[in-house]
Amino acid sequence: MRRILLLTPLLLAGCDVAPTLVLNEFMASNTVTLTDSEGGTPDWIEVHNNGDSSISLAGFSLSDDSTLLDRGPLPLDVELEAGGYALFFCERDVVGDPQVLPFRLSAAGEEVVLSYDFGDGPEVVQSLTYGTQISDVSMARMPDGDGDWTEDTTPTPDAANE
């Protein structure tokens, strides 16, 4: 089986905030690895503050579609400390929970997009196109924040990738 994985980082001129928040790990076929507050096993995406100071998540969004960049706005009132992680569940049916995104990831492959709204609408900060995923195996950057994407049979949601 062949897996395709493309990561497109976008360096944004004049911005010292957005590029420090990065896609860090995700799981598109979660069957037993992690449960949500309702006991379900939704897909999930982890972002990581790769910077030296805290960063507000206001203005950031996650999506599974580069034509719908503001599909999953991140919570406005969350500050992520330097080196910190934030975990978001992908559950189309849940409304009103700031930790839940309004879409699911496809285990057959698609994209994960992190965007930031600089005032003129959202722009892609990073995007990742991935192929078919194995249940309960995450795709993780090793080392955190700027390493290569690797299949991880011991996922570490909301924590450092090992």
Looking up residue 148, the CATH number of its domain turns out to be 2.60.40.1260
For β-strands 43-49 and 21-27, DSSP reports them as antiparallel
pLDDT category of residue 97 using cuts at 50, 70 and 90: confident
Check: CB of residue 41 under 8 Å from CB of residue 47. Answer: no
Cα gap 40→135, rounded to integer Å: 15
Residues 93-106 have a mean pLDDT of 89
Query: Considering the domain boundaries, does residue 162 fall inside one?
Result: no
Residues 27-32 have a mean pLDDT of 98
Query: Considering the domain boundaries, does residue 119 fall inside one?
Result: yes
For β-strands 148-152 and 138-142, DSSP reports them as antiparallel
Residues 77-90 as b/e (b if ≥16 CB within 10 A, e otherwise) read eeebeeebbbbbbb
Query: Considering the domain boundaries, does residue 159 fall inside one?
Result: no
Residue 136's domain comprises 5-152
The verdict on pTM exceeding 0.95 is: no
Is the pLDDT at 57 greater than 60, yes or no? yes
Query: Considering the domain boundaries, does residue 29 fall inside one?
Result: yes
Query: Considering the domain boundaries, does residue 138 fall inside one?
Result: yes
Per-residue confidence (pLDDT) for residue 94, from 0 to 100: 77
**What are the tens digits of pLDDT across the range 2-24?**
333 333 343 333 344 446 999 99
The number of folded domains in the chain is: 1
